[in-house]
């Protein structure tokens, strides 16, 4: 069983990552409003931008679920009395934080790849 301090540290880092994903989701919206050209619809965006938007929203949703599980699976809470089940819930929360991070990683690697491809193949 992991100490409560390490669990709290992991949950805090996961929450910071989740806040970062929300910021990543909000920044392109602010940039799009200042753009010269106007998209009448969100569906007018390219397919890679739509996929990126879906990935970041999915990452935020998975992050919310991971935060809820990390609170429920923490040693400092009274949700569930069985230590074995709390351990499993804590591991599930950690895996979900990793999945949310990988979704953001795919997002940050996919868009530059498309930009570079379009640069070399006009």
- Tens of pLDDT, residue by residue over 30-51, are 455 555 556 556 666 677 777 8
Tokens 């970041």 correspond to 56
pLDDT for the residue numbered 61: 95
Spatial separation of the C-alpha atoms in residues 37 and 29, rounded to whole Å: 13
Using the predicted structure, report yes or no on whether residue 1 has a pLDDT greater than 70: no
Residue 80, helix vs strand vs coil: coil
pLDDT for the residue numbered 99: 95
Using the predicted structure, report yes or no on whether residue 22 has a pLDDT greater than 80: yes
99 to 25, 35, 53, 106, 120: CA distances (angstroms): 17, 32, 16, 11, 32
**Of 40-44, 76-80, 81-85, 89-93, the least confident:** 40-44
pLDDT band at residue 60 using 50, 70 and 90 as cut-offs: very high
pLDDT band at residue 5 using 50, 70 and 90 as cut-offs: confident
> Where are the alpha helices (H) located in the chain, listed in sequence order?
4-33, 47-72, 83-120
The two structure tokens encoding residue 57: 């929203």
> Mean pLDDT across the stretch 65-88?
84
Contact 71, 77 (CB under 8 A): yes
């Amino acid at each position: 069983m992991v100490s409560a301090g390490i669990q709290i540290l992991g949950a805090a880092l996961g929450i910071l990552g989740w806040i970062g994903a929300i910021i990543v989701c909000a920044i392109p919206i602010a940039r799009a409003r200042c753009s010269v050209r106007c998209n009448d619809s969100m569906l007018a965006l390219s397919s890679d931008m739509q996929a990126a938007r879906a990935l970041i929203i999915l990452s935020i949703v998975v992050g919310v679920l991971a935060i809820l599980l990390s609170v429920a699976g923490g040693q400092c809470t009274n949700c569930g009395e069985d230590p074995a089940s709390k351990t499993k819930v804590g591991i599930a929360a950690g895996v979900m934080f990793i999945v949310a991070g990988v979704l953001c990683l795919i997002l940050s690697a996919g868009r530059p790849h498309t930009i570079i491809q379009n640069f070399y193949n006009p």
